[in-house]
Amino acid sequence: MSGNNLNITGDMTTGEVTTRWPSTKEVFTRHFGSGCFTCPAFGGEPISMACAMHSTDLNMFVGELTEAAKKEEAAKK
């Protein structure tokens, strides 16, 4: 997948994003803490819900996820 086809949205689940782009885990850790990955909701929870639960701006968070994913995709080339 090329970086031009990235379309991370708030409707995607946390698991979808971190499975497809493992580098995005750093963004989750930076904003939500390292316990994020042991939370029972992690994996099936939409990004929008995670941001709401952690009082984090969705647009900013999705932007950071997208940047991390773009860098990961570029490194594969």
Encode pLDDT of 8-34 as tens digits: 999 999 999 999 999 999 999 999 998
Measured distance CA(57)–CA(73) in Å, rounded = 24
Tokens matching residue 32: 């939500």
Measured distance CA(61)–CA(47) in Å, rounded = 9
Identify the pLDDT of residue 76: 85
- Label residues 44-74 b or e (16+ Cβ within 10 Å = b): ebbbebbbeeeeeeeeebbebbbebbbebbe
Indicate the fold that domain 8-71 takes in CATH: SP0561-like (1.10.3910)
Encode pLDDT of 55-68 as tens digits: 999 999 999 999 99
Q: What is the pTM of this model?
A: 0.89
Structural contact between residues 69 and 6, judged by C-beta atoms closer than 8 angstroms: yes
